[in-house]
Each structure stands twice: as C-alpha cells, then as structure tokens.
Chains A and B, each alone.
Chain A
Amino acid sequence: MTLLAHGIGARGDLPLSVGTLAVVAGVAVFVSFAALLTGWKEPRFAAIAKGRSVFSVSPGVAISVTGITRTVGALAVGVSLWSALFVEDSTVENIAPRMVYVLFWIVIPLSSVVFGDLWRLFSPFEVIASLTKRFRHAGPVSKQSGSLYGAAFFLLLFLWLELSFHRPAGRTPLAIMLIVWIGWCSQGAVRGGTTWLGNNDPLAVLTRLLSSVSCLTVRANELVVRRPIVGLADVPTQRGLAAVVLVVLGGTSFDGLSRTDWWTSLISGKMEWTRTLVNTLGLLFVTALIISLFLGAVRLMQRKDENEDPMFEDGFAISLVPVLVGYGIAHYFSMAVFEGQFLLIQASDPFGLGWDLFGTRTDYVNYRIVSSTTIAAVQASGIIAGHIAGVVVGHDRALESLKKRENLAAQLPLVALLVALTMIALLLLVEA
C-alpha cells in the first residue's frame, strides 16, 4: 500500500521557494503584457511552420527503420501486458506500473517535445494499420473521424486511474487498462488506419500535440527542421482539441494539488473506495475549474470579436500546449530521472526470472544524479518558458483567427487566462 500519486515513486520534490515564485510570477506577468504591446501585427507562424527538409531517406530505409522501432514498441507494450497479467503484484517485481506511468505516460510524451513524435515512430498499432491497408476501402476518410473527444475521454479515464483510483499500480487495474487500450487501438487501426490512430489513440494524440512544439518532425520520409513552437500553428483545428489539452492540464494540476499538505490531510485515513471517491471529486473539480477558466476567457474573447467560428475554442487550445509542456516538465522531470533509473533496473529482469539482460539488475537508483537546486531550476524554467511560449502562440493565433486583429483588448482574456494558469501551477509547486 502506498499513498503517493501514481502508486510508484518514493520521493517528492522539495517545494519551490517563495522567492522563486515571486521572480517567475513577475517575469510571467511582465512578459505577457509586453508581448501584447510590442508584439507583431501579422500572423507569422503558419508561414514558417512547414520548416525545411534536411534529410530524406528512401521508402525502403524508412520501412526498415520503422520496422525496428515498432518492433521495440510492440515488445514494450507486450512486456507491460504480460507483466500486468502474470508477474507478481508488486511495484518492485512487476515492471508494468513503471512501463505505463513512467515510460508511456512521461518519458515518451516529454521526449517527443524535444525529438518529435516518438510514439508515431514506436507505436505497434501503426504496424497493424500498414498491414491492413490493402483491405480497407480507399474511400475518403469521413470528417466525422476527425473528432478528438474519444481520445479526451480515454485520457480522462487514464488520469482517473492514475490519480484517483486507490490502487493505480495494482496489476489488475493496469491489465484492464492495457487490454482496453490495445483492443481499442487495434480495432481502430484495422478499420481506420494511421489517420484513425492519430485522432483516437490517446497516447498518439498527446504525443502528436506535444511534438508540435519540437524543432524536429518527419514528413513523408523526410526529416524536417523548423523553429521551436511554430509547429503549433500547423496543428489542424479539430473538434475536441481543447478537450484533450484541458483534460491533461486538469489532471496535472490535480496531481499538484494532491501533493499539498492540505489535500493529504483531507484524504488521510480515508481508505479504499472512499479515497477513490474523494480523489475522483478532486480530479473532476480541478478539471472543471480549468475548463471553466479556459472557456470563460475564450468565449469572452469570441464575443468581443463578434466571431461566429464554431471551433473558436479548439483553435485557441494550441496556446495551452506549451503551458502543458511546462506543467509536465515541472511535475514529472524528477520522476522521469529517478523512476526512469528504476525502470532500467527492472528492464534487465522484466519477468522476475533472475535475468540480467542489460547488466543493470543489481544497480541502485541514484537520487543524487541531479541536485534539488537543478530540479527547482528546471521546474521554474519549465513553467516560465511554457508560459511565454503560450502567450506568443496565442498572440499569433489571435492575429490569424480574430476578425478585428488590431483590437489588442480582445486578446486580454487569453493573456489573463495564461497568467492565471501559471499562477496556479506555481502556487501548487510552492505548496508541494
């Protein structure tokens, strides 16, 4: 039995100092308004979002490379499922909890921010999509399949399992989650191919969004280089885009809240399903709060602009993607570093059979590989960089989609929203 969120991880980050809070908050507010006043008057990102190709490979090489990476991906998913089904129910013996909560949920999405969409490269479901391609109707993909609400729903379910359910690292809940995920993606890959996966595999949707911040992307066997964050302007505005971003932002915020003394005292002594109930209410409340803040700000902006675009809010959701990256780094950087080491130790003997595949079986987690000062610096920089990028991307999108683009006052609700989200993130880190 363990009380920590995720069910794994023995160490929590130290609270940020009030001094750091003041500096970061001050910079955030200043930059927000300075960007608005001195910002450019024409949208810029869409024009440069395509980037330039620096490297291209033949289709044969591309197939070989993805063949290898997706086999590795299939092994990772397969080992997780096998362990969840058959290996002892323990976070030390069983690799499934760390595969799911560290590798799939933190390492792959956060690495995609730097290296581009890694799940596209490793997803075994893409193999199913390729192999069944010839059997699918060549008809046009219907617009209906372009909604991201399904992915948002599954992301919410996943976050509930991770943050609200009282036994997130138990092998039975993990096995059920993995079976549902594998089943959902496999049938969809057969029916709708790679397009369906990009819109419905929750992990694929998340990494696709996060990787649009990256300087690197792959397009038709070409490695494309572009400036950071401009790729967000190239993210298609789909129904449910805002829902995906808000659900993950809400979950990350609740994760922060659940580490405060206030919340741990609140759930102290509440066991099993009572605990699940309280944490479910907490997760839903925080998510609802984030959604209301976002919708309130964006609808106000829409009204000021007399804009009737039915997908107005989904268009502005991209400005929250850098904020989400910042939240993700601030909350999960240390967990990726420390629990990632544990994952490497476990990977040597994934089934508890006494193997030592990588010679790491008897290693220890080195808790001093990064200092607390470094962690705090990464947290503060993640939040501030995410905030600045969010303001810049939001400004660019406003110039693109607002009818009265010279009206800077119309952008104020968005700036206020971003400032509010950054303050919430910082306060939760100070109260950790």
Chain B
Amino acid sequence: MKMMLVVALLAACSGNNSGSGGLGDKSEESESGHSHSHEHAAGAAHSLNIPFDSELIDVKNSVQIIEGKVAGGVQRVRAELGEVVALAVDSDSAEILHLHGYDLVATIEPGISAVLVFEASIPGIFEIELENAGLLVAKVEIR
C-alpha cells in the first residue's frame, strides 16, 4: 500500500450537457480563493486523501519532478476521447498540480504522489503545471 492523493473527475458535469466538460482557466481563482458563479465547475472534481493501492488503477503515465525540473523534459500524454486517463506525478517538494481546461487540482507532498484521474471528455491540448512554481509538467493531448 502506498499513499497517494487521488483527484478524480470520472463523470463530466451533471445536467443536460452534450458538450460542457469544464470551464476555462481558473488558476487565478484558485490562488485568490475567491469565486462566484463558476465555482460549481470545479465542484465536479473530488480531492481524496486516501490510502490507495496503485495496482487498482492502471496508471500508465507517471512524471517525476526533481529539484524543480521535470525528469526528461516537458512530457506529452496522449489519450483518446472518452478514455479514462490516469497520471501520477511525484515531486521532491510540496506543490499544487493543476490540469487546465478540466480544472483539476491536486496537492503533492514529497513521498506522496498525486494521481490525476479523469475522463478525457474535451478534445484539444491541455497543460498540467505546478501552480506555485509555474512549471509546465506535461501537455495532455486528447483526440
């Protein structure tokens, strides 16, 4: 058993959404901690801090951040539309991980990986960054 922080967006936003998957960039918002009408978009993401057996979810993509640098450079994660994507990120310093577009946020602690799990419901290219350092970790390409 390994401690992991799992952030999952397994279902898209509720309602009659033939298309709405998420909202635009909310990074500034999460910094200020203030929001108004758009907050329910982020409500679809659940942050769980649970003991988690990494064998249960097939985490194909993992990224390591060592001393403020992404091992092997900025990663590109490719996924098909509709696929459930799982991405684990390790870091040697505490950070906040943010997937733009889908607006998933997870905290990383040294020794505790963050795992982003989400359904690839919006096509395009989306950036995953470390919120505090402003470091680009990966680009998620969904087609």
Contacts and interface: CB of A to CB of B under 8 A. Distances in A.
A2 B24 contact: no
A19 B103 CA distance: 32
Given A88-B32, A91-B25, A14 B125 contact: yes
Contacts of B101: 10-11, 367
B92 to A, nearest CB: 14
Contacts of A91: 24-25, 27-29
Nearest to A334: B124
Interface string B60-75: 0000000011100110
A334 B101 CA distance: 14
Q: Which of A1, A264, A366 has the most CB of B within 10 A?
A: A1
A332 interface: no
Contacts of A269: 68-69, 133, 135
Contacts of A361: 37
Contact of A3 (B19, B38, B123, B134): B134
Given A10-B101, A11-B101, A268-B136, A368 B127 contact: no
Given A1-B134, A3-B134, A10-B101, A367 B28 contact: no
A261 B74 contact: yes
A9 B24 contact: yes
Given A92-B38, A349-B37, A364-B13, A264 B74 contact: yes
A362 interface: yes
B23 interface: yes
Contact of B136 (A9, A11, A169, A264): A264
Given A92-B26, A349-B36, A367 B122 contact: yes
Contact of B18 (A89, A345, A368): A368
A338 interface: yes
Interface in B84-116: 100-101, 103
A74 interface: no
A365 B135 contact: no
Contact of B143 (A14, A264, A365): A14
B100 A4 contact: yes
B24 A365 contact: yes
Interface string B3-30: 0000000000100011111111111110
Interface string A350-387: 00101000000110111111011000000000000000
Given A14-B143, A269-B69, A261 B76 contact: yes
Interface string A4-37: 1000111111110000000000000000000000
Given A14-B143, A368-B122, A3 B24 contact: no
Contacts of A3: 127, 129, 134, 136
A130 interface: no
Given A2-B27, A88-B32, A269-B135, A12 B125 contact: yes
A362 B25 CA distance: 16
Interface string A85-114: 000111111000000000000000000000
Given A368-B18, A368-B19, A92 B139 contact: no
A269 B71 CA distance: 12
Contacts of B38: 92, 345
Given A268-B135, A365-B20, A367-B20, A92 B25 contact: yes
B20 A92 contact: no
A368 B139 CA distance: 20
B126 A11 contact: yes
Given A4-B100, A265-B74, A367 B37 contact: no
A124 B51 CA distance: 60
Given A13-B124, A93-B34, A367-B20, A261 B25 contact: no
Contacts of A77: none
A54 interface: no
B100 A8 contact: no
Interface string A312-353: 000000000000000000000010001100100100010010
A432 interface: yes
Interface string A294-320: 000000000000000000000000000
A10 B127 CA distance: 8
Contacts of B131: 1
Contact of A338 (B24, B73, B76): B24
A271 interface: yes
Given A2-B129, A264-B139, 14 more contacts: A4-B100, A92-B35, A92-B38, A264-B74, A264-B136, A345-B38, A349-B37, A352-B36, A367-B22, A368-B18, A371-B123, A372-B124, A372-B143, A432-B125
Interface of B: 13, 17-29, 31-32, 34-38, 41, 68-70, 73-74, 76, 100-101, 103, 122-127, 129, 131-136, 139, 141, 143
